[in-house]
Amino acid sequence: MAEKPSVLFVCVHNAGRSQMAAGWLTHLAAGRIVVRSAGSAPADQVNPVAIEAMREVGIDITSEQPKVLTVDAVEASDAVITMGCGDACPVFPGKRYEDWKLDDPAGQGIEMVRQVRDEIRTRVEKLIAELIS
């Protein structure tokens, strides 16, 4: 049995986009993919509006904490998905990198965060299809 593919989601604060993406991937992949998330400058807590938006679709990310992006996390991951952290993400040869252009939900209302949440779901579904053939 081959090792499960692993994905690392990275945004600046690891409080909104990357947490929602990790929540979606954990939920939709149902154990078939190892999921990590981190931030180049982590916030103190996950964005409460992101938590609320995910709760609306039955996904609980209340127990998550923003984590610092480490070289080890990047090295341990097959795919690294960045969300607006620019050059803060270390690059290793042989990894799959994607940059998802997503609006930052920090300080935004629930309507806008729902749009980001739904766009992330679409991208995560595509990612799962590509990783699990």
Tell me the catalytic residues: 11, 85, 89
With both helix axes pointing from N to C terminus, report the angle between 48-55 and 17-29 in degrees, rounded to the nearest 10.
30
Distances (CA, A) of 88 to 76, 83, 110: 17, 11, 28
CB 56 within 8 A of CB 76: no
Q: Is 22:10 a contact under the CB 8 Å cutoff?
A: no
Alpha carbons within 13 A on the beta-carbon side of 111: 0
